[in-house]
Amino acid sequence: MTVADVAVPLVRRRPPARVRRKRLLVAVANHSMLIAASVAFLAPFVFIALTALMTNDQALSANLWPHPFAWHNFVDVFTKAPLWRWTLNTFEYALLATLGVVVSSVPVAYALARLRWRGRNLAFIIVLVALMLPPQVTVVPLYVAWAKFHPFGFNFIGTLWPVIIPNWFGDAFSIFLLRQFFLTIPEEYMDAARVDGCGEFRILLTVVARLAKPAIAAVALFSFLYTFNDFFLPLLYSGESPHHWVLSIGLSEFRSLHQVQWNLTMAATLLVMAPVIVLFFLAQRAFVEGVTLTGVKG
């Protein structure tokens, strides 16, 4: 079970028939296992999709194949639940938070990677600690603070602002990832720009931002995914005000809202999965590169 067996042999001579047969058998076994695993990984999607196309009576029966196909379910979910409202809230949260993460994390990561200043190592250790801390550790006092904070009589509890605003002050994971990437950019580029009379901020905007495009794209992508999927924090702050629910909260309450049926619940589930999956196929390379960046380069 190693890569070596797969790799093209250095010697061009055809290997003896016995070896070739053995290789073929191993390849067949390997592919059979891959196909079996693929079936297992795809099955949940298939069952969700099939149920989403069933009538309610059928979803409650033991039949696995929809008969007839109830395409109308995908229209009905929008009338049964304020799916549009939740979608708008979700994108408001995800886009504003992602923008904030990118705008605030890039300069910090640059300062940590390329500028020399006192306390830089300490700041980096703090980023590492912040990276590892469960959000539950700080959530109680933050909630208390937002609950007691009423500028001009505006009440933050019940809105999404308490989950959006912190993203504009840097995100530990993004800072960490960007810093690691900035370290790989040769210092000569920055020096050349400095010789030409470029300020650090302009270097960041022109030289670094352009060279680090894949890393910045990965950070934006992850931040969007994280906020799109986020459940815990929106639940805390807007759980009691359905008008400000995001898709994840709406979906979790979907079935109990009006005693909604499984078929419609699965249709909504599929609709919530759809944007992420579409995004994946649009930006597949950025995804794979980004995930690899977090694990290996890190």
Partner 1 sequence: MSPWLVGFSVFFGYPLVMSAYLSLNHYDLLSSPRWVGLANYRYLFSVDPQTWTAVKNTLWLIGVLVPLQVLSAFGLALMLARARTGVGIFRTIFYLPALAPPVAATLGFVFILNPATGPVNTILGHLGISGPLWFQDPSWAKPSLVMLGIWGVGNTMIIFLAAVLDVPRTLYESAQLDGAGPLQRLRYVTVPSISPVLLFAAVLGVIQGLQYFTQAYVAAGVASGQASQAADVTSVSLGYPVDSTLFYPVLLYQHGFVDFQMGYASAMAMFLFAVSFVVTLAIVINSRRWVHSGAR
Q: According to CB under 8 A, which residues from 56 to 75 bind partner 1?
A: 59-62, 64
Query: Could you tell me the smallest distance in angstroms from the CB atom of residue 289 to partner 1?
Result: 10
* Contacts (CB under 8 A) with partner 1, residues 232-251: 232, 235-236, 239, 247-249, 251
Residue 142 or 205: the one with the smaller Cβ distance to partner 1 is: 142
Is 144 a binder of partner 1 (CB under 8 A)?
A: yes
Q: Which is nearer to partner 1, 182 or 193 (CB)?
A: 182
Place of tokens 């049964």: 80
Q: Which of residues 107-136 bind partner 1 (CB under 8 A)?
A: 107-108, 111, 117, 123-126, 128-130, 132-136
Minimum distance, C-beta of residue 243 to partner 1, in the bound complex (Å): 17
Q: Does 141 bind partner 1 (CB under 8 A)?
A: yes
Per CB under 8 A, the segment of 14-22, 27-35, 68-76, 207-215 that binds partner 1 is: 27-35
**Residues 217, 210: Cα–Cα separation, whole Å:** 11
Q: Is 85 in the site for partner 1 (CB under 8 A)?
A: no
205 binds partner 1 (CB under 8 A): no
Judged by CB under 8 A, the chain residues 178 through 197 that form the site for partner 1 are 183-184
**Smallest distance from the beta carbon of 52 to partner 1, in angstroms?**
10
Rounded to whole angstroms, the Cα distance separating 255 from 263 reads: 10
Contact residues for 259 (Cβ-Cβ < 8 A; gap 6+): none
Residue from 31, 202, 210, 243 that binds partner 1 (CB under 8 A)?
Answer: 31
d(Cα 287, Cα 35) in Å, to the nearest integer?
23
Quick check: 88 binds partner 1 (CB under 8 A)?
no
